[in-house]
Amino acid sequence: MMMLQKIETALAALQPQVLQVGDESHMHSRGKESHFKVVLVSAAFDGVRKVQRHQKVYAALGDLMQQFHALALHTFSPDEWQAEQAIPDSPHCRGGSLHDK
């Protein structure tokens, strides 16, 4: 199973209304399946601050967190998602990887 699918499967525990997982590794210099972007809308985030939301995501991912380099998280409650629905573009890699020559 590819890492993207493993992430989707693990995050299903948060009962998302919207779940978008993108592999952005092509924008970075660390190789395949290294950088991911997640958009997650869940009632589990109602009244929960951003740091706590991210902690919930990290807990759901568990040991998977050790298997990739970066995770851009965009977490919303259902009401926030209804009002917002705008996800910023991810920045392009600025280098600095051990893999850079």
Residue 93: pLDDT over 90: no
Name the least confident of 3-7, 9-13, 25-29, 81-85: 25-29
Assess if residue 32 is contained within a domain. yes
Report the pLDDT value the prediction gives residue 69, as an integer from 0 to 100.
74
Instruction: Give the whole-number percent of the chain exceeding pLDDT 70.
Output: 77
Number of domains within the chain: 1
Question: Is residue 90 included in any domain, yes or no?
Answer: no
| pLDDT at residue number 97 | 47
| Residues recorded for the chain | 101
The domain in which residue 74 lies consists of 3-83
Q: What predicted TM-score, i.e. pTM, was given to this entire model?
A: 0.80
Q: Is there a domain that residue 42 lies in?
A: yes
> Is 98 inside a domain boundary?
no
State the CATH number of the domain containing residue 68: 3.30.300.90
- pLDDT score at 5: 93
Helix, strand, coil share (%) of the chain residues, nearest 5: 40, 20, 40
